[in-house]
Amino acid sequence: MKNIYYYYALSQKSPAGFAKRLCFLLERSDIGSRPLILLCIGSDRSTGDSLGPLIGHKLENTLTQRVLVYGTLKRPVHAMNLCEVLRRIAMFHPDAFVIAIDASLGSNCHVGYVTLSDTSLRPGLGVQKNLPAVGDLCITGIVNLSGDTDGLQLQSTRLSTVMELADFISSGIQLALHTYESSSITCNSR
């Protein structure tokens, strides 16, 4: 459908609204018994681009066996290996439902926001990389301003902003997946 939902992570103490919407989107997607992959994209070598690997690191040992995490601080998924990782996912998990997670750049009024969308993600688009679209759903954290020097913007991003976004997103994902996988609780779209 191409809906994009925004959540201001720097002021909200709880990611409950984000988690509730993610749970609703998962239910609507009718995943069934398909494996769920969190594809956390980014590099640990750039502060702004480290959002994905930080989230993967936070989640890799906290989720159920049904949820697989690709992209961590130890094994990041980035522009240089993305196509190979996508080939591995297609080979070993051909029916997987993929949630793509990445940092993004945006306008001044959107820095610190998390986006959740029922579309695929185009990683590297903000820094003029031509990479394939990935994911059935996508989550981005807007880490800094977009401009003429996007690569430099990623390098000069405040670590505190990235960490707050990573905490918000990883907590929201944990809450959404716990709720989604629980048979006694039903999500709704409010």
Mean pLDDT in consecutive groups of 10 residues from the start of the chain, 190 residues: 88 86 92 93 92 96 88 95 96 96 92 95 76 94 78 76 96 93 52
The residue written with tokens 């191409």 in the block is 2
What's the CA gap between 190 and 169, in Å, rounded? 19
The residue written with tokens 């997946």 in the block is 177
pLDDT of 188 reads 47
Other CB atoms within 10 A of residue 145 CB: 16
Residue 186 lies in a domain: no
pLDDT of 66 reads 84
Residue 23 lies in a domain: yes
pLDDT of 184 reads 33
CA proximity to 168, closest of 135, 131, 143? 143
Residue 188 lies in a domain: no
Residue 11 lies in a domain: yes
Residue 190 lies in a domain: no
pLDDT of 148 reads 65
Query: For residue 65, what is the domain's CATH number?
Result: 3.40.50.1450
Burial of 1 from C-beta contacts in 10 A (0-12 / 13-18 / 19+): exposed
